[in-house]
Chain A
Amino acid sequence: MSTGTTKLDVVVSDVVPVNELVTRFHFRRRDGQLLPTFSGGAHVVVEMRDGERTRLNPYSLMGSPLDTREYTISVRRDNAGRGGSLFMHRQVRPGTEMVVSYPVNLFSLDLRARKHLMLAGGIGITPFMAQTAQLAADGGNFELHYTCRTASLGTYADLLRERYDRRVRLYHDDRDERVDLDRLLSSQPLGTHLYVCGPSGMIGWVRERAAALGWPAETVHFEHFAAPQPGAPFDVTLALSGKKIRVDEQQSLLEAIEAAGVDPPYLCRGGVCGQCETNVISHDGKFIHNDHWLSEEDHRSGCKIMPCVSRFEGRSLVLER
């Protein structure tokens, strides 16, 4: 059990294919009660019990925060991933009983902002579904710029246009439509906050341009759950619990630690929240850091690792767990 991750017993109330890659899942509480309230940008960690294996993947809640009868998530199928999205697409049906965490928000709106400027790329649209619903209900001032590969892969693009009309601007890669980012960032009124969710390249680009154009760091919000990457198996010694474990090719280090019966804290399982930060006691080899939490200095020091997304290659690794 982990910090802030009290569990909710839910049942899948609906499964809706959205387009060739994305499917939407609706969850209701098994006891028929309302679900806990959440704010736009929150995510839940979905437990996927797949035979022997349990995967825990974070997904943004995309329903309106005003309606807590159900939680909805949209899952993009990733054929090359570790299998979480394939499990959701292939095995989860209406009526499937599942367990999800309480919602946690690591990408919340700063409601002091005069205006909210949102930039979404691909499946990164999901937190904005909830945030726009929340803002629209309060007459909030927002503008959403959404880039998708093609019109047919523009998940919820039509719905957003219908709901918010010209407050939503669409860009299609296949038509060579590009956000004129410098112009967009330079023409925003004072007091605007920027939110970006999408592929890591896009997030890096937007953050870099915003910083260069004088947007203070506290006005720039981003979320990118790094999915744990598969890699070569490696052995780890957990010094505090006196255990030696092996991390399999398709397993994350965090999952391997949990499988050994050790329960480190976690929240996002995507390298952003910092909860599972672990001290390295000694190592002989090379770290493969994939998180957005530790500083570059931390990465270079070899003293810390985020076991939810990062891996190791080498002879030995001893962790303070």
Chain B
Amino acid sequence: MAAKSIISRPVYGTLSLQPGKHHLFIADAEGALAIADLAAKAPADFFGGAHVIFIPGRDGKYADVLEALKPAQFYLGHSFASALPRLKQTLANAHMGLRLYLAGTEGLIGQAMHAALEAGIDHTSIQTEHRGSLARRMQCVHCKGITENVTTQPATCSHCGLLLLVRDHYSRRLAAFQGVCINAEDRSEIPPIEEVFR
């Protein structure tokens, strides 16, 4: 579970069934298990009207768990980027009554939420549940490049190479945490690098 800190740091809940006409699930890796937990409480025919977009983790697990729910539409993506056109298309054609459920890593939840906000869904009406890795999607505030799957504190920007303090300051607009140079005064000062976002 993500710890609560400053106000911009997102907090996640537990997926719960919402009244609606259509149900769209987006999950990665262990997020599949949050959907399975929800399914255990759902009426038998619930997934017959659901659309599931799933991006398995490196171990390729849990796709079978979701397929077993027999959703009306099931899409297996290789990465969030490869699933994004499908997600955007789905949202563009959707009507009020569509409910959105996001489960898995913060990077997945943040990026899917970003697409949903662009489509006019208020972030407060989206169901979210964090499962699996705490790895962060980070924006370097200096070069603006985004580094995925950051697990260390501090972390190196994959674009400009600065050593960045990964803050809890989060941008919904960018779907990323802010990374700020940790040794701007003296670059030779290298604080210990610890793996904290596992």
- B21 engages A190 (CB within 8 Å): no
Q: Are A219 and B124 in contact (CB under 8 A)?
A: no
Q: How many A-B residue pairs have CB under 8 A?
A: 58
Residues of chain B within 8 A (CB-CB) of A32 are none
Q: Does B83 contact A (CB under 8 A)?
A: no
List, in ascending order, chain B residues with CB within 8 A of A165's CB: none
Beta-carbon contact of B120 and A216 below 8 Å: no
Q: Is A310 an interface residue (CB 8 A)?
A: no
Report whether B119 and A191 are in contact in the complex, using a CB–CB cutoff of 8 Å.
yes
Nearest CB on B from A101, distance (A): 31
Report the separation of the CA atoms of residues A114 and B119 in the bound assembly, to the nearest whole angstrom.
9
Are B19 and A211 in contact (CB-based, < 8 A)?
A: yes
- For A185, A192, A212, A215, the residue with the greatest tally of chain B CB atoms inside 10 Å of its CB is A215
- Complex CA distance for A249 and B129, rounded to whole angstroms: 54
Interface segment among B55-63, B71-79, B93-101, B165-173: the answer is: B93-101
Cβ-defined contact, B96 with A189, below 8 A = yes
Residues of A within 8 A of B98 (CB): 190, 214
Q: Are A188 and B95 in contact (CB under 8 A)?
A: yes
What's the Cα separation between A218 and B120 when bound, in Å? Answer: 12
Q: Which residue of A lies closest to B99 (CB)?
A: A214
Known: A211-B19, A214-B18. A190 touches B95 (CB 8 A): yes
Q: Which of B19, B20, B21, B96 has the most CB of A within 10 A?
A: B96
Interface of B is mostly: loop
Contact B20 A213 (CB under 8 A): yes
User: Does A186 interact with chain B (Cβ within 8 Å)?
Assistant: yes
- Report whether B96 and A219 are in contact in the complex, using a CB–CB cutoff of 8 Å: yes
Question: Cβ of B19 and Cβ of A213 under 8 Å apart?
Answer: yes
Q: Chain B residues with Cβ under 8 A from A187's Cβ? A: 95
Query: Nearest Cβ in chain A — how far from B18, in angstroms?
Result: 7
Quick one: given A190-B120, A211-B19, are A216 and B95 in contact (CB under 8 Å)?
Answer: no
Q: A113-B120, A218-B125 are known contacts. Are A212 and B19 too (CB-CB below 8 A)?
A: yes
| 8 Å CB interface, A183-208 against B | 185-192
Q: Which of A192, A217, A218 contacts B96 (CB 8 A)?
A: A192
* B124 & A188 in contact (Cβ 8 Å cutoff): no
- Cβ of B122 under 8 Å from chain A: yes
Which residue of chain A lies nearest to B90 when distances are taken between CB atoms in the complex? Answer: A190
**Chain B residues, Cβ within 8 Å of A191:** 119-121
Q: Which residues of B contact A213 (CB under 8 A)?
A: 19-21, 96-97
By a beta-carbon cutoff of 8 Å, the part of chain B in contact with chain A is 18-22, 91, 94-99, 119-122, 124-125
Q: List 19 A-B contacts (CB under 8 A).
A: A112-B122, A113-B120, A186-B95, A187-B95, A188-B96, A189-B94, A189-B95, A190-B98, A190-B120, A190-B121, A191-B120, A192-B120, A211-B19, A212-B19, A214-B96, A214-B98, A216-B122, A216-B124, A216-B125
